Amino acid sequence: MKQLALIGSGFGGLAAAIRLQARGFQVTIFEKRTMVGGRASQIKKEGYTFDTGPSLITAPFLIKEVFLSAGRRLEDYLDLIPLDPFYRIYFHDGSHLDYSGDSEKMKAEMARFDPDDAKQYDRFFAGIQPIYDSVITEGLGAKPFLRWQTMARFAPKAIALGGFRPVYSYVKRYFKDERHRFAFSFHPLFVGGSPFRTPSIYAMIPSLERNAGVWFARGGTYSLVKAFERLFLELGGTIRTDAEVQEIIVRDGQATGIVVNGEAIPVDGVVSNGDVPWVYKHLIKPAHRRRWNDKAIDKLKISMSCFLMYIGTRRQYPNLLHHTLILSRRYRELVKDIFDRHILPDDFSMYLHVPTRTDASMAPAGCESMYVLVPVPHLGGGIDWKTKTPMYARKILDFLEHDFGMEGLQENIDVLEFFTPEDFGTRLNAHLGSAFSIEPRLTQSAYFRPHNRSEDIKRLYFVGAGTHPGAGIPGVLLSAAATESCVLEDLGAGTPRSTSQLQTATA
């Protein structure tokens, strides 16, 4: 069997590992951290359970596909619970919108702010449907954009639909009320993009949510990580944790092995799920990199980071739904502070994840498990998080308690943990401590994004947020399919196994 080294165990890495192991390769995952999952890790403390990163599960059909690629059924591994509404969005004036996938409920919600906007709801979704069809139904998201011709074929359709305009200006054409413009344009922020320049191909995320729902994995997103891990191990894959890869060995322009804890391990191919800019810069000697030399990497625009607080409280806050957004008065200027000026603004918008609203087992009885996510600049702004963290955390807690009205919040805290941009850098090897890798802008999308098959080194492949199509669980699962196709094209299909063989492998 051909041996593959897979560097990193984020969702993209796990999905690629499953797909390739199921195709008959012998895959070993090397993960730097003690736990698998990458950004989707878990903290358990004093009876509270926190997902550290992704909390919204969209496009469950893409998760099903990973199980199907190995002849299994998602239902045998995981319990997915649909959420309704998807989010509650609190605006700075105290009003709120419950955002759901139900057209009639949404129109009724929107009519409270502007009846004309409510009438535009169907038109908005009809307008975006062709993009959705291209990326999801026709599978462009799962195709590696290795040749500019692939891009050229898609471009006329995207241009005709306005798909290259920024998401915000696309949405603005449909809705007048600023609150609706926010509600349908903020989604790029979920994948590290600015709504004011991410191409409106990403305006199809609301369609993805509406068509396939927003879900929660019982026990938290980490249940999905454990399900993938279990499936991979059942297929005969190997996982080595606390195993940081220090180098990708390149001979005659081809990846031939890796160095882990000082040990050189020869392999037939390397798939990297580590952050692409970081991996090129730190794991591959400059002599082997023509396209992705240090200069090219330094020119990349890197997405924002996040300041995260994991909070366990003895008191519950029912005005918070499972997913809640609390917004500042500023939108465009706040995004500019974070993405372009790289400064920590005085105001903030935030996202709160409160899984106890759906699954009481995430906290002791009567208590609340939540995390607060505040988008902040990446480390290029020079913010020193070691000194900044206590002050910034206090500011956020004061805001939530005194301005937003979470009475008694601070005196009821049992558990308080942080994850800062510096942690993204040191714990996850994220270039500039970014939460979402390379920013999804037009000049860094599809063909212009680092390819799933390395442009510089044969038998080196990338999977995850920094390659095509991009960040987010759906994005990195699609990237696993794209990367699998590159590996199969280059290295052959290993020893393909039939579904029955795959099923008996568990016995």
Ligand X SMILES: Cc1cc2nc3c(=O)[nH]c(=O)nc-3n(C[C@H](O)[C@H](O)[C@H](O)COP(=O)(O)OP(=O)(O)OC[C@H]3O[C@@H](n4cnc5c(N)ncnc54)[C@H](O)[C@@H]3O)c2cc1C
Cα–Cα dist 438/448, whole Å = 11
284 contributes a contact to ligand X by CB under 6 A? no
Q: With CB under 6 A, what is the number of residues at the site for ligand X?
A: 36
372 contributes a contact to ligand X by CB under 6 A? no
**With left for phi above 0 and alpha for psi between -120 and 50, is residue 173 left, alpha or beta?**
alpha
39 contributes a contact to ligand X by CB under 6 A? yes
471 contributes a contact to ligand X by CB under 6 A? yes
273 contributes a contact to ligand X by CB under 6 A? yes
- Measure CA of the first residue to CA of the last residue in the chain; give whole Å: 21
444 contributes a contact to ligand X by CB under 6 A? no
The residue within the footprint of ligand X, chosen from 245, 302, 350, 409 (CB under 6 A), is: 245
User: What is the smallest separation between the CB atom of 158 and ligand X, expressed in angstroms?
Assistant: 23
User: 106: exposed, middle or buried (C-beta count within 10 Å: 0-12, 13-18, 19+)?
Assistant: buried
Residues 165-224 that bind ligand X (CB under 6 A): 190
Q: Which residue number, 376 or 435, has a Cβ lying nearer to ligand X?
A: 435
What mask of x and - would describe binding to ligand X in positions 386 to 425, judged by CB under 6 A? ----------------------------------------
Alpha-carbon dihedral angle through residues 281, 263, 429, 482, given to the nearest 10 degrees:
80
12 contributes a contact to ligand X by CB under 6 A? yes
244 contributes a contact to ligand X by CB under 6 A? yes
Q: Which helix (H) or strand (E) holds 489?
A: helix 473-491
Q: Is residue 370 within 8 Å of residue 356, measured between CB atoms? A: yes
The single residue listed with the structure tokens 């997915």 is 80
Q: Which residue number, 143 or 322, has a Cβ lying nearer to ligand X?
A: 322
431 contributes a contact to ligand X by CB under 6 A? no
Residues 304-343 that bind ligand X (CB under 6 A): 306, 308
The single residue listed with the structure tokens 């609203």 is 357
The residue within the footprint of ligand X, chosen from 38, 269, 377, 494 (CB under 6 A), is: 38
Alpha-carbon dihedral angle through residues 158, 161, 162, 167, given to the nearest 10 degrees:
-90
The residue within the footprint of ligand X, chosen from 4, 6, 10, 27 (CB under 6 A), is: 10
Non-local CB neighbours of 9 within 8 Å, separated by 6+ positions? 17, 29, 31, 36, 37, 38, 229, 239, 241, 273
**With left for phi above 0 and alpha for psi between -120 and 50, is residue 307 left, alpha or beta?**
beta
The residue within the footprint of ligand X, chosen from 2, 4, 6, 8 (CB under 6 A), is: 8
Which residues bind to ligand X, rule: CB under 6 A? 7-13, 30-33, 38-40, 53-56, 190, 244-245, 273-274, 306, 308, 373, 428-429, 435-436, 464-465, 471-473, 476
